[in-house]
């Protein structure tokens, strides 16, 4: 499977972000990608406005998602995923990862772990989901869904891999700060290595975020990686690499604990 990771600095105006996302979809498709992962919060971001989410959030049938669905119809081979706040009509907003193919939403996941850490409070505007993320199949690979802060909870990644995930996708808006780039690097690689699976992690870049999108293979090797600027990068995932990793490092077979229960 060929994957593409499109990182960019999300703008306050959703119209600008729609143009960027549409262009990344086209470039990924023309580059032969089977799957494109965009960052977290692709609808709108403004570091000077703490109320940007309630001001800009759109429903599933709003113009932003409707246009993305239409764009994907032009490239039926490509599956894409992006994350944005979606209201539920009850004055609540869910940080939602949508997986789209050929004009249809084929999976969605509401973020379980809200980023109330390092002096940030995501729960101020976002409600936590209460359902485990699904697996989606793309080009013969099963992918588990995660979002940003979920990366710090290894039990979620392990649960998805035990359910059959060959890889984990993670859109993120990883904030800058002391040690934060190191955290990102360590955790993305650790989730891949400890589960002998691929990690596909796309980070927002810009004034407050680190970028650093990467694909890490099942033995913890970053096979492709972006810097801090907008970029579209590609990588090829191979079943043979997963099989090799799980033969030389059989951690899934050697484990002594039952899968964690979801509370």
- Is 111 one of the annotated active-site residues of the chain? yes
- Active-site residue (options: 21, 83, 101, 111): 111
Residue with tokens 């039926």: 76
Q: Which helix (H) or strand (E) holds 200?
A: strand 198-203
Report helix, strand or coil for 167: strand
Residue 238 half-sphere exposure toward CB, CA atoms < 13 A: 8
β pairing state of 167-172 and 141-145: parallel
- Is 163 one of the annotated active-site residues of the chain? no
- Active-site residue (options: 40, 108, 122, 204): 40
- Active-site residue (options: 21, 83, 108, 148): 148
- The residues pairing with 3 across neighbouring beta strands, listed in sequence order, are 35, 235
- Is 189 one of the annotated active-site residues of the chain? no
Integer-rounded Cα Rg, in Å, for the chain is 17
Instruction: Please answer whether residues 58 and 108 qualify as being in contact, where contact means their C-beta atoms are separated by less than 8 angstroms.
Output: no
Is the CA virtual torsion 211, 216, 221, 225 positive or negative?
negative
Catalytic residues: 40, 111, 148
């Amino acid at each position: 499977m060929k994957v593409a990771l499109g990182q960019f600095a999300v703008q306050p105006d959703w119209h600008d972000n729609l143009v960027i996302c549409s262009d990344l979809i086209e470039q990924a498709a023309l580059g032969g990608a089977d799957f494109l992962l965009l960052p977290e919060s692709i609808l709108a971001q403004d570091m000077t406005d703490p109320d940007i989410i309630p001001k800009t959030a759109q429903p599933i049938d709003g113009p932003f998602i409707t246009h993305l669905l239409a764009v994907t119809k032009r490239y039926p081979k490509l599956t894409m995923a992006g994350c944005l706040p979606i209201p539920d009509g009850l004055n609540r907003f869910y940080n939602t990862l949508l997986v789209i193919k050929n004009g249809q939403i084929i999976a969605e996941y509401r973020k379980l772990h809200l980023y109330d850490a390092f002096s940030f409070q995501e729960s101020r505007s976002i409600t936590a989901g209460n359902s485990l993320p699904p697996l989606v199949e793309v080009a013969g690979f099963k992918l588990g869904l995660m979002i940003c802060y979920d990366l710090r909870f290894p039990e979620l990644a392990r649960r998805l891999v035990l359910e059959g995930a060959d890889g984990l996708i993670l859109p993120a808006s990883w904030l800058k700060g002391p040690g934060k780039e190191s955290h990102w690097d360590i955790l993305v690689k650790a989730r891949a290595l400890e589960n002998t699976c691929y990690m596909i992690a796309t980070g927002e870049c810009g004034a407050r975020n680190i970028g650093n999108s990467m694909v890490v293979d099942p033995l913890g090797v970053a096979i492709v990686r972006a810097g801090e600027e907008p970029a579209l990068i590609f990588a090829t995932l191979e079943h043979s690499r997963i099989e090799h990793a799980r033969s030389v490092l059989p951690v899934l077979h050697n484990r002594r604990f039952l899968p964690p229960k979801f509370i």
